[in-house]
Chains A and B, each alone.
Chain A
């Protein structure tokens, strides 16, 4: 008898008692489905958080902010609240630094014709779109020349453009900010996964930092964006610049690397999700164990019920090994089918969550494969005792059993 005939025989025997086979499977199915779903959600949640953090900082850019901005609270007397020219100069003096830019944030009334809206203003260098993860959907980003030339140009967020221009094309049009007309060169949407877009409203106007300083001379520079040269060690560079700035300010905690902060928050969040996944996974594992005990129980009942069948099979020439294998394959088949169904249902739950919540839930295939193999193994382990009991039956007593 080959393996396939064994499995076929097991399937025939499981089919003759469909309801019981299904109920036995259910424990394993629920256990595996919940493990798969938990892993999918955990993975998706982690990916979403990490994606949001990664999207908040452009590559090779060190974002330095006064500490007050990273850890909100009452500023101490004399605490640095803004970045000034000398700070920018210090950062620029480091080797490995290609360029030092800065950004300003604030809010202002933006108007066009008789329509106006209170929008957040983000002003910065020409790669502001990378720093704050904008996607230009029409027109273009303002250029470095615009920044150097203090030009009156702006990029609108899509929602602001819709409010001011309706369905008309805003590119080339003018908006008024603080009495100065700015020419619109582009429209952008903020990438959804950005953490920053959660805190900022979606009505935003982006302009060159220099222009903004002309319009709002009393706004302070709230972020320094240090562009590292290609190949530079960004982390150590960031550390050295922050230290130098702190020494200059005479306060060891005056400045902080906000991109570093973001990544440490990311690491923490990822740790938390991992722990949560493990805890819930352990609970699902217990469910699987209970399912396994259920399988063992049913197999014991089945061996007792089929005592006479076993006696008949022995009288027809079945060896003890064949009887043992028959019951082992049966219980492994139950749990393998249960495990397979659990994997499929778990994947569907993950898919449902992806569609309804947008969390990029995903099941890595090794997890699916291991879950499946593990449930088959549960069948073998839990079937061992009942199968051994069946194989050890005395054929005469088994034949006489009613």
Chain B
């Protein structure tokens, strides 16, 4: 599903070029559950942004389901993010001024789903993550774990094949974090491809495979037998 070959990413900070990824080769199969670990600043988020089509490699190629992403137009990338990819962030990234259900509706809105169907599907998704009774709450009225559940419901809105989670438990206590991981594992069992960035070894251990990144390079891989 995901193929990276010799991917470099260089940012420009002022006049200084800053190379964050140093030749990453990575293959993730359809239906895999992969975790990514590594020290802070090692380029994990950058890698995830490239995988999620929010950013493009400076050098190297990235294929998503065989399509060379650098050949796609801005509009095609937007459609890809909307239909095929669901993001989950450490800081939840819910829009603060609209209710939980309206947050979940957003990807459906951009997909052109009509008003009534949008609402019905959003409520259904909230029910699936156990948040049916909080649909009309503003994010500020929700706990961290609840916000992350809403964010996961939103990531699932257009039934994407790929879920990308950047430290989804980083802002949660251990028990709530574990609940979120169970949720992700359920999604994996339902056939989705899942990539999780984490600092927590127990979270990483939930995945089939763990990739270790240091200084923008993949140093080590660990495959678990189940």
Contact = CB atoms under 8 A, between A and B. Distances in A.
Interface of A: 1, 5, 9, 12-13, 16, 308-309, 311-322, 395-396, 399
A106 B151 CA distance: 93
B93 A318 contact: no
Residue with the greatest number of chain B CB neighbours at <10 A, chosen from A16, A309, A315, A396: A315
B52 A319 contact: no
B93 A317 contact: no
Contacts of B55: 395-396
A317 B54 contact: no
Contacts of A311: 93
B93 A399 contact: yes
Interface in B57-95: 74-75, 78-79, 81-83, 87, 89, 93-95
A198 B80 CA distance: 79
30 contacts: A1-B110, A1-B112, A5-B109, A5-B115, A13-B97, A308-B93, A312-B93, A312-B95, A313-B95, A313-B106, A314-B78, A314-B81, A315-B81, A315-B87, A316-B82, A317-B78, A317-B79, A317-B81, A317-B83, A317-B111, A317-B158, A318-B78, A319-B74, A319-B110, A320-B78, A322-B110, A396-B54, A399-B54, A399-B89, A399-B93
A299 B223 CA distance: 51
A9 B118 CA distance: 14
A33 to B, nearest CB: 30
Contacts of A308: 93
B149 interface: no
A312 B81 CA distance: 11
Contacts of B94: 312
B205 interface: no
Contacts of A320: 74, 78
B192 interface: no
A16 B109 CA distance: 19
Contact of A396 (B49, B87, B102, B106): B49
A315 to B, nearest CB: 5
B153 to A, nearest CB: 12
A311 B45 CA distance: 15
A40 to B, nearest CB: 39
Contacts of B154: 316
Given A13-B97, A316-B107, A317-B83, 6 more contacts: A12-B98, A309-B95, A312-B95, A315-B54, A316-B87, A317-B82
Nearest to B75: A319
A299 B115 CA distance: 27
Contacts of B81: 314-317
A259 B97 CA distance: 69
Nearest to B81: A317
Contacts of A316: 81-82, 87, 106-107, 110, 154
A1 B75 contact: no
A304 to B, nearest CB: 16
Contacts of B83: 317
A377 B83 CA distance: 35
A314 B77 CA distance: 10
Contacts, number: 63
8 nearest interchain CB pairs? A317-B82, A16-B97, A319-B78, A317-B110, A317-B81, A316-B107, A395-B54, A312-B93
A14 B71 CA distance: 38
Contacts of A315: 52, 54, 81, 87, 93
A335 B70 CA distance: 40
Contacts of A16: 97-98
B190 to A, nearest CB: 21
Nearest to B97: A16
A13 B106 CA distance: 14
A163 to B, nearest CB: 73
Which of A1, A320, A396 has the most B CB atoms < 10 Å from its CB? A396
Contacts of B79: 317
- Scoring B78, B97, B115 by chain A CB atoms within 10 A of each residue's CB, the highest score goes to B78
A322 B75 CA distance: 10
B55 to A, nearest CB: 5
A87 to B, nearest CB: 84
Nearest to A319: B78
B95 A314 contact: no
Interface in B102-147: 102, 106-107, 109-112, 115
A395 B75 CA distance: 14
A313 B94 CA distance: 10
Contacts of A309: 95
Contacts of B110: 1, 313, 316-319, 322
A111 to B, nearest CB: 83
A1 B87 CA distance: 22
A399 B110 CA distance: 18
Contacts of B112: 1
Contacts of A13: 97
Contacts of B106: 313, 316
A119 B97 CA distance: 77
Residue of A5, A313, A319, A322 with most chain B CB atoms under a 10 A cut-off:
A319
Nearest to B78: A319
A399 B109 CA distance: 20
A207 to B, nearest CB: 79
Contacts of A321: 75
Contacts of A319: 74-75, 78, 110
B82 A314 contact: no
Which among B55, B81, B115 has the highest number of chain A CB atoms within 10 Å?
B81
B160 to A, nearest CB: 10
A383 to B, nearest CB: 19
A317 B89 CA distance: 15
